[in-house]
Amino acid sequence: MHEPTGQQSSSAGRSAVPANIGSTRTLQTVKDSDGHVTSRVRRTVLPGGLRVVTEQMAGARSASIGVWVNVGSRDETPTLHGCSHFLEHLLFKGTRERSALDISVALDAVGGEFNAFTAKEYTCFHARVLDADLPLAVDVLGDMITNSLITTADVEAERDVILVEIAMHDDDPDDVVHNLFARQAFGDSPLGRPIAGTVASITDMTREQVERFYRRHYRADNMVVAVAGNLEHAKVVREVRRAFGRHRFLAGSTTPVEPRNTTRARPVAAGESRTARPFEQVNVVLGMKGITRTDERRYALGVLNTALGGGTSSRLFQEVRERRGLAYSVYSFASHHADAGLVGVSVGCLPSKLDDVLATVRAELAKVAAEGITADELTRGKGQLRGGLVLGLEDSGSRMSRLGKAELVYAELLSIDEVIERIDAVTLDEVREIAAALFAQPEVLAITGPA
């Protein structure tokens, strides 16, 4: 694969809405060292405000499509807790034109991969198919998104499935402790609640509530259709217009909804939460307030996170596991939302090792906050981030996700070269400053394990 060496676009990255609905513009053109185009990103806004963003990938034989909806668990009231995830399940259950079996058979018959997921701030329905089968994938997804029946029978059947899923999460120590950590940090708020809902909220939710939520949020102006692979942008736009144009879904001239971003992170509630579970080991998450997803310090934090707990050469892995033998699994993380963020360390250990683990982790965080990282760690951290970025974008599914997130939540599409430049520009002083700013804050601690 040729490394990208250039791009053409006077407004590269910025996705401001074109003045005229239906107009198309090129966001990026990337060429290799010989001047051959390796990828081209284009964007069209259809009537109703539906955005179509594509990346044409030279040499690909597959195509991936994702319908990104600007709604997630943070948009739910306490009564509707879990509704976004419930609805994600229900859109696979059938439309006026296709039964649930028809939907499954359509993609299975061509060897396609087909799934969906719900996050705190968005929901995505995605498929990966051979390039020749992309029109089928577009049609099936368009039908599901715009034409779902949401029958009483389907709601009742899927309610039981989700209750089983909630029970499954409750049996997973990692899920339990991270949900406990979020609850301690953000309290009884949408960001503090688990995405799937609770047994009580899912049991009490009615079909009418789910359908109203569907009609309120699943609008053309609140969505992005992202497609990457062997494709022609104009053809994809025609297919999307036809598939999503059912029942006047694209009627009107509404402009797309703006991303919900701010650089000021909301506060978190310091403190400790514990819950007893009949697990063999103790699972711990120790962290504190982080930064938002658009904060310019996120590149420095990425390097810091990699050096601290991002691999087997990281400080935490070496100190907690290799030198002291206190735990099998230990890693650091940074999570980002539109107006909030968390950083922390996750560890699983024997109950007898808990005090030593906490003392060691706290000592490492304090050391990094006071001294920063070394030049060697800076170099390794940058290399790890660069490698992960480029290797992670070698298939059409990863490229599609990059487009969808950039358009829906960032309103900015950076080229791979631009991201690498920002990573390479991180200095030791910047890493030390972000470490001092974050790790000196009051801590949030969650612990689950045997009583």
Which positions are catalytic? 88
Angstrom distance (rounded) from CA 448 to CA 284: 7
> Which of 201, 173, 200 lies closest to 446 in space, CA to CA?
173
User: In the chain, what is the greatest distance between 2 CA atoms, to the nearest angstrom?
Assistant: 65
- Residue type for 427, please? T
Angstrom distance (rounded) from CA 413 to CA 70: 17
**What distance, in Å, lies between the first and last C-alpha atoms of the chain?**
53
Strands (E), 300-451: 329-336, 341-349, 444-449
Work out the angle at residue 351's Cα, subtended by the Cα atoms of residues 345 and 352, and round it to the nearest 5 degrees: 110
Give the pairing of strands 123-130 and 62-69. Answer: antiparallel
289: left (phi over 0), alpha (psi -120 to 50) or beta: beta
Report which secondary-structure segment, H or E, holds 435: helix 428-439
Angstrom distance (rounded) from CA 73 to CA 38: 37
Angstrom distance (rounded) from CA 146 to CA 152: 18
Using alpha carbons, list the distances in angstroms from residue 307 to 42, 46, 78, 432, 435.
36, 44, 39, 12, 11
Angstrom distance (rounded) from CA 63 to CA 252: 30
Angstrom distance (rounded) from CA 82 to CA 200: 10
